[in-house]
Amino acid sequence: MNKKEKLKIGIDLDDTLWEYQLVFLNFYNKKFKTNYSLKEFSVYSLEEFLNLSNEEVVSLLDEFGSHPGFMNLPLIEGAKETIHELKKKHELFFITARPPSRKELTQEFFLNHFGLKEKIYFLGGASSSNLKTKGEMGNFLGIDLMIDDHLTNLKSCLNYGIPSFLMDRPWNKEEEIKGIKRVKNWREILELIK
């Protein structure tokens, strides 16, 4: 691990701090009377997994955004405790690819669940101008370590020399890459950073 005492740590929101795909799948199953399980979710792309067009996915995600389940996404075990622990010593940056239209709602959700009023960075949002990838954003913020569940995001970080922890999820099993360490849970992350 980095020898620096105080690290700048970039942290993803959906499926890193709280369950997203799981709740979305429940919403989808109910709506279409299907029976998909999270374990089957072996590709990151909803289009590919559900065999839908991009327009259909965009419209479904839009509908999901005003669904009660969306405001009640369950936190991933250990996330809250670890964030509070890491905050004592390190600088945390919360970075999401959610659309900027979800900004207020996301900030409110974060405050309610973590009890912290943190700035959240939105990729492609007005304040981040044209920083579109996690790598670009991480580089801009001077991040030392990124935590995410999406391999593509972490590969873009690696392009800027930013190492990372990959949250082990069904959709990111396909590759093991040097500089991207697969982790099982938040407890393991805390141990590794210590």
Among residues 15 and 144, whose Cβ is nearest to Mg ion?
Answer: 15
Residues found near Mg ion in the complex (CB under 5 A): 12, 14-15, 149
Among residues 60 and 76, whose Cβ is nearest to Mg ion?
Answer: 76
Tell the smallest beta-carbon distance from residue 171 to Mg ion (Å): 10
Among residues 3 and 18, whose Cβ is nearest to Mg ion?
Answer: 18
Tell the smallest beta-carbon distance from residue 15 to Mg ion (Å): 4
Tell the smallest beta-carbon distance from residue 16 to Mg ion (Å): 5
Tell the smallest beta-carbon distance from residue 3 to Mg ion (Å): 28
Instruction: Report angle CA 74, 77, 79 to the nearest 5 degrees.
Output: 90
Among residues 12 and 144, whose Cβ is nearest to Mg ion?
Answer: 12
Closest CA to 41 of 24, 58, 64, 17: 24
Closest CA to 139 of 163, 109, 174, 166: 163
Among residues 32 and 77, whose Cβ is nearest to Mg ion?
Answer: 77
The answer to whether 160 and 139 are in contact (CB under 8 A) is: yes
Closest CA to 164 of 176, 155, 172: 155
The answer to whether 186 and 172 are in contact (CB under 8 A) is: no
Tell the smallest beta-carbon distance from residue 149 to Mg ion (Å): 4
| Residues sharing a CB contact under 8 Å with residue 94, sequence separation 6 or more, in sequence order | 11, 13, 17, 110, 118, 119, 120, 121
C-alpha span between 89 and 47 (Å, rounded): 40
